Amino acid sequence: MSDIAPTEAHIHSSFYRFVALAEPEAVAARLRELSQPDTGIGGNILVAPEGISAAIAGPAQALAAFEQALQTDPVFGGAFVGMVFKHSACTTKPFTLIKVHTKPEIVAFGVPGVSGLPDASKPDTHVSPTRWRELIKEPDVLVLDNRNSFEFKLGHFEGAVDPKVAHFRDFPAYVTEHADEWKAKGQRIAMYCTGGIRCEKTSAWMQDQGLDVYQLDGGIVSYFEALPDAAADWKGECFVFDKRIAIDTHLQETPTTAEDVYAGEPDEAWRLARARRLDPEPGNR
């Protein structure tokens, strides 16, 4: 549920849910109505038959009204009741425009037939931030970063493995390549990503590969939110896909720029160009 403080001038909100949506286009159309430019809300919202994923920001009151409507509007049929919203205050306005898209998946995994929809036949893989802190110190646990390599380089959990992938759709090949080795060593896999969605999409598929896998519930952002001393386990910053570029373990924007993240990386030139397009106003960093 929303817990936006009315004193905050501008708030970033990220959320997702894997839930079967019979009419994604109708959901997207209503979301566009609820986030008209005059609301001051900007960001990106993806809608697919498997659910919704969003990173948005806006004035506190407008954002609270949007989040309330998301949970109560009859067009959504209760699909988003009890949605968990991850909030952080903003120094830089994260988005200029609001974009609502419909796509086949809310996060592209690249393996046909794999969905993030809950599967009651499989064990729950979620672990809380406090349990995660214990889990990643256990000797038979391999801590696996389920993000792109440039994100890992900016910051990661101590002792984590970088799969060195450039896109999320490359992650399955890395897992397939190493699964037999991990199983032979009797290793359990503790997996994490920024907000939880990439792990949500991956975990059941990894179980099907015979792996004993756990995922950090709510991702890095929830870990930072839950543990004031998160810096004891996290090294560096956390990349975010908006104009802020990166946040620290207290969810505060850092001075890091897109050039800091991508400069000198030829394969990431397109990401730098995209980051610059996010912020077209002259004088912005």
- The catalytic residue positions are 193
DSSP 8-state symbol, 87: E
Identify whether the C-beta of residue 160 lies closer than 8 Å to the C-beta of residue 182.
Answer: no
Distance of alpha carbon 245 from alpha carbon 102, whole angstroms: 25
DSSP 8-state symbol, 253: B
Q: Is the dihedral of CA 254, 259, 260, 265 positive or negative?
A: positive
Question: 216: burial class by Cβ within 10 Å (0-12, 13-18, 19+)?
Answer: buried
Residue at token pair 């890992």:
152
Shortest CA distance to 185 belongs to which of 216, 214, 157, 211? 211
Q: Radius of gyration of the chain from Cα atoms?
A: 19
Identify whether the C-beta of residue 53 lies closer than 8 Å to the C-beta of residue 112.
Answer: no
Distance of alpha carbon 70 from alpha carbon 31, whole angstroms: 8
Contacts of 122 (CB under 8 A, 6+ apart): 204, 207
**What are the residue ranges of helices labelled H in 149-268?**
149-154, 171-184, 197-208, 219-226, 258-262
Question: 72: burial class by Cβ within 10 Å (0-12, 13-18, 19+)?
Answer: exposed
